[in-house]
Amino acid sequence: MRIGQRGGSRYNLSLPLTVQRDALHVVLVSPRNPLNIGAAARAMANFGFSRLSVVAPFAPTWREARSAVGAEELLQNAKVTTTLPEALADCTLVAGTGTLTYRKPEQEVVALPDLGPRVAAELARGGRMGLVFGTEKHGLTRDDLSYCHLLVEIPTDERQPSMNLGQAVAVCLYELATRCFEAEADESALKTKTTTVSGERLERLSGVVEEAMRAAGYSPRSMQEANRRDLRLLLRRLGLDEGDCRRILGLFRRILWRLNRPPLRLL
């Protein structure tokens, strides 16, 4: 799994190579405290990661956070998006973070120490990993998590299950930087799909399926948001490859065309 050589001391020989770092994307959803954004950026710099997206941040001055010691450039280059799917457009495996104390998970739950081999397998296939963190106030919502393939749980004491945002980013990146890239990718996982599907492609497919559902009168308007969330989760559970995605997209486009076609008039 390790490719090439690097200089430096033995202390940091386990840190990922540049090509591996660039395939991992940290996403912060609606962070409220600029100091936490700066602390997350500093943790990323500590372990050699540089791809950061901030979704709908509350404070307009977060790029000047003093807590980003040694990571000022990373913070300045961070991408800002208005929605989570924009930030995850090129990610083929997305892991949301959180605790199970106050939520019933709707996707596979993976303990942080077990995440490494999954990420290693995805990167070996040429995929890109998204690691998503929620707002300090309540973490990721059900809607946020519907864009995630996995829910990652950080082992914590049940008396204090939640973590500070900056600390959570640091713990997750340490785990991945020191374990994931040393682990051999699971051969069975590698065989499950040959070509990864990006979040952008899944959103396109989800949109066409939802449009067909509306055209067919599948459910009342009051249920459309819940159906949309369930559809996103289903598509991610299926683990589609690029060929599957293309065929299903073509199928539902044909169905939609038929549904929208004016009925034949009998003479």
Q: What confidence score (pLDDT) does residue 261 get? A: 83
Strand partners, 152: 97, 110
Q: What is the predicted pLDDT for the residue at 42?
A: 95
Q: Exposed e or buried b for every residue in 163-179, given b needs 16+ CB within 10 A?
A: bebbebbbbbbebbbeb
Encoding tokens for residue 177?
């930087």
- The closest of 81, 58, 77 to 68, measured between CA atoms, is 77
What percentage of the chain reaches a pLDDT higher than 90? 53
% of the chain with per-residue pLDDT over 70: 87
**From the centroid of its chain, how far is CA 40?**
16
The predicted pLDDT at position 16 comes to 63
Question: Exposed, middle or buried: residue 102 (CB in 10 Å: 0-12, 13-18, 19+)?
Answer: exposed
Q: What is the pTM of this model?
A: 0.83
pLDDT tops 70 at residue 14: no
Q: pLDDT tens-digit profile of 85-136?
A: 999 999 999 999 988 877 788 899 999 989 988 888 888 888 999 999 999 8
- 22-45 residue pLDDT tens: 899 999 999 999 999 999 999 999
The separation between CA 232 and the C-alpha centre of its own chain, rounded to angstroms, equals 13
Q: End-to-end CA distance of the chain: give it in Å, rounded.
A: 69
> Where is 54: in which H helix or E strand?
strand 52-55
Q: Tell me the mean pLDDT in the region 195-220.
A: 89
Token pair for 165:
């945002």
Beta strand extents in 143-185 (DSSP E only): 150-153
Q: Check pLDDT > 50 for residue 5.
A: no
Average pLDDT over residues 142-160: 91
Q: Which helix (H) or strand (E) holds 132?
A: strand 129-133
* Distance, CA of 219 to CA of 217 (rounded, Å): 6
Quick one: average pLDDT of 231-247?
90
Q: How much is the average pLDDT of 56-68?
A: 90
Q: Answer yes or no: is pLDDT of 1 > 60.
A: no
Predicted pLDDT at 3: 34
Phi, psi dihedral angles at 46 (to 5 degrees): -55, -40
Structure tokens at 47: 């372990």
* Domain formed by 16-190, architecture: 3-Layer(aba) Sandwich (3.40)
Residue 265 has a pLDDT of 66
How confident is the model at residue 6, as a pLDDT? 45
Q: pLDDT tens, 159-203?
A: 888 889 999 999 999 998 887 766 454 444 444 545 578 999 999
- Give me the half-sphere count of Cα atoms (radius 13 Å) on the Cβ side of residue 81: 15
How is the chain split into domains, by residue range?
16-190, 199-260
pLDDT at 7: 45
Is the model's pLDDT at 226 over the cut of 60?
yes
| 229, 85 Cβ separation under 8 angstroms | no
